[in-house]
Amino acid sequence: MGQDEICGLEQWPDTLACITGGIGSGKSVISQVLRLRGFDVYDCDSRAKQLMETDEKLRHELEKLAGSEIYFPDGTLDRKRLASLIFYSNTLRVQVNRLVHKTVRDDIVCWRGGNHADRRLFVETAIPAASGLMAMVDRIWEVVAPESLRLTRACRRDSASEEAVLSRMQAQRSEFSSLPPDITDRIINDGKTPVLTQIDNLLKIL
């Protein structure tokens, strides 16, 4: 039995679009605009953090991989400890990511089958390829901006050094080079091109 059947969903009655983009591109801004307009947007990053603490099956599997010490007595995840373990073991990092990505995908299936005001739904993620979400969505909205502007935004937002942000940018490049062109649209968020007009135009074709 597939996850869609488990969640009582025999077929997709909606359109699911992925909002993505590199660090500092402004994808969260696009998501917020959509929420203000009444659309439902699933934030993969924040939801993954929740599931790592609330999903019993995922917690059990993570403890098997990294030890029960990765959780505090109150049930919250010791993120620093897990990050430290992952830093020294690429194998563990891959295994943890695989578990979390699968749990998020299953959660999206159930979320997608719920009640929504508008059947045009959105998921926001910085890793559409690594997460496996590209195979689940109907359209992809890639938010883009000049690298210099992205660098400035990210450094200011995260209080990070230019070196650290540039390293993250480099690590992300493969995520967006593999986006399928036939279902990918771009939103230019350079501070000059009207973003709302672009969103309106893309909504019309969803």
Domain layout of the chain by residue ranges: 15-40+118-206, 46-115
Range 15-40+118-206: architecture per CATH:
3-Layer(aba) Sandwich (3.40)
Which pLDDT does position 1 carry in this prediction?
42
Please check the confidence at residue 21 and state whether its pLDDT lies above 50: yes
Which pLDDT does position 49 carry in this prediction?
96
d(C-alpha 62, C-alpha 70), whole Å? 8
Please check the confidence at residue 161 and state whether its pLDDT lies above 60: yes
- Assign 6 a pLDDT band (cuts: 50, 70, 90): very low
Please check the confidence at residue 36 and state whether its pLDDT lies above 60: yes
Which pLDDT does position 171 carry in this prediction?
87
Q: Which of 95-99, 109-113, 183-187 has the lowest mean pLDDT?
A: 109-113
Please check the confidence at residue 95 and state whether its pLDDT lies above 50: yes
What are the CA-CA distances from residue 203 to residues 73, 108, 134, 143, 164 (Å)? 46, 21, 19, 15, 35
C-beta separation of 20 from 129 below 8 A: no
Which pLDDT does position 13 carry in this prediction?
63
- Assign 173 a pLDDT band (cuts: 50, 70, 90): confident
d(C-alpha 63, C-alpha 99), whole Å? 12
Please check the confidence at residue 12 and state whether its pLDDT lies above 60: no
Which pLDDT does position 14 carry in this prediction?
85
The arrangement of strands across the sheet holding 15-20 comes to: 41-43, 120-124, 15-20, 139-144, 184-188
d(C-alpha 138, C-alpha 153), whole Å? 29
Three-class DSSP category at 17:
strand
Over residues 79-106, mean pLDDT: 96
d(C-alpha 117, C-alpha 67), whole Å? 42
Please check the confidence at residue 60 and state whether its pLDDT lies above 60: yes
Which pLDDT does position 174 carry in this prediction?
87
Q: What is the mean pLDDT of the chain?
A: 92
Helix, strand, coil % over all residues of the chain, rounded to 5: 55, 15, 30
- Assign 119 a pLDDT band (cuts: 50, 70, 90): very high
